[in-house]
Amino acid sequence: MTTADTLPVHQLLGLFDSPYVRRVAITMTHYGIPFEHVSLSVFRHMDQMRPLNPLFKVPMLTLPSGEKLYESAYQLDYLDEWAEQAGLQALTPRHGAQRREVLQKVALATIAVEKAVGLAYERRRPSALVWNEWVERLREQMKVALDQLEAMLKGEYLVGSRMSQADITTVVTLGFIRFVLPEEWPIARYPALENLAARLEATPEFLAVPIDKE
Ligand SMILES: N[C@@H](CCC(=O)N[C@@H](CS)C(=O)NCC(=O)O)C(=O)O
């Protein structure tokens, strides 16, 4: 019998301040897939990262076979397949209308977080080089995506009556904005999303993967 203790180990590269890395780590924890976390920054640990990942793009997931996967969406797809083979319910349904619904809500959360990451990168520029119109555009796009998710969240979860990848990616997005870019979080605008985040951030799989704030 294969148990969590005897499973071959996956390796996940990247810090949990990256929402992309965090959603993969939470998904692995949810499925009970043990992994080694290689906690290196794409900016601060370039010399250590170069031999592992000269693309300096995270997350990178190394499978027990040594195969390396880039792009969190493809990593989640691999993990869902793994879960299905292990007899677990995949966080993104494998086909049908519910799959599309989950994926489209994941897409909205991913758009929101991509704009938030864009805002975070703008802060790395010397102030004379900041393009204010671009910053405003990013902010507005992030807001529209979050507004749409807020309007869609009618019940306990974004799709159906159980947690899906739409909830994980949305809550990770909120975590990134609220804790990494707190001044970008519009207080009281998103009560339903805040409620979802409070509930999920208190679950074992989220607590096991805290945002790194260095
Ligand atoms: N679409 C990618 C986005 C990953 C991403 O942008 N990661 C950031 C960290 S949050 C990164 O690697 N930044 C370094 C760079 O792009 O040079 C995914 O979902 O994996």
Q: Hey, whose CA ends up nearest to atom 1 of ligand 1?
A: 71
4 is a domain residue:
no
pLDDT for the residue numbered 79: 98
pLDDT-derived band at 6, boundaries 50, 70, 90: low
Pocket test for ligand 1, best of 13, 17, 39, 42 (most atoms within 8 A of CB): 42
pLDDT at 1 over 60: no
What is the total count of domains within the chain?
Answer: 2
Average pLDDT over residues 64-85: 97
Residues having CB within 6 Å of any atom of ligand 1: 18, 20, 42, 56-59, 71-73, 117
Query: Which of 17, 18, 55, 103 should be mutated for ligand 1, with most atoms under 8 A from CB?
Result: 18
Which tens digit of pLDDT belongs to each residue from 10-36? 999 999 999 999 999 999 999 999 999
Does 59 fall in a domain? yes
**Ligand 1 geometric centre to CA of 36 (Å):** 19
Ligand 1: nearest atom to the Cα of 75: 20
Q: What percent of the chain has pLDDT over 90?
A: 91
Q: From 11, 38, 31, select the one nearest 168 (Cα to Cα).
A: 31
pLDDT of 5 reads 58
77 in the same domain as 111: no
CA of 155 to the centre of ligand 1 (A): 31
pLDDT at 180: 87
Q: How far apart are CA 158 and CA 162, in angstroms?
A: 9
Which residues constitute the domain of residue 38? 10-85
Give the distance from CA 99 to its chain's centroid.
18
Is 39 inside a domain boundary?
yes
4: pLDDT strictly greater than 60: no
Mean pLDDT of 88-97: 97
Q: Are residues 111 and 74 in the same domain?
A: no
Residue 113 Cα distances to 23, 72, 83, 175, 190, angstroms: 12, 13, 26, 10, 15
Q: Which of 82, 50, 85, 45 is nearest to 65 (CA)?
A: 82
The pLDDT-based confidence of 186 (bands split at 50, 70, 90) is: confident
Residue nearest to atom 12 of ligand 1 (CA): 57
CB 11 within 8 A of CB 1: no
Average pLDDT of the chain to the nearest whole number: 94
Q: CA 104 → CA 5, 107, 170, 205, distances in Å? A: 35, 5, 12, 23
Report the candidate in 114, 87, 93, 212 with the shortest Cα–Cα distance to residue 169: 114
- For residues 79 and 151, membership in a common domain is answered with no
Q: Are 22 and 16 in contact (CB under 8 A)?
A: yes
CATH of the domain at 118: 1.20.1050.10
The pLDDT of 177-184, averaged and rounded, is 92
Tell whether pTM > 0.85: yes
Query: Counting beta carbons within 10 angstroms of the beta carbon of residue 176, is it exposed (0 to 12), middle (13 to 18) or buried (19 or more)?
Result: buried
* pLDDT single digits (tens) 144-157: 999 999 999 999 99
- 130-146 pLDDT, tens per residue? 999 999 999 999 999 99
Please say which residue of 32, 55, 85 terminates a domain: 85
* pLDDT exceeds 60 at position 113: yes
DSSP percent split of the chain into helix, strand, coil, nearest 5: 55, 5, 40
- Compute, in angstroms, the gap from residue 95 CA to the centroid of ligand 1: 27
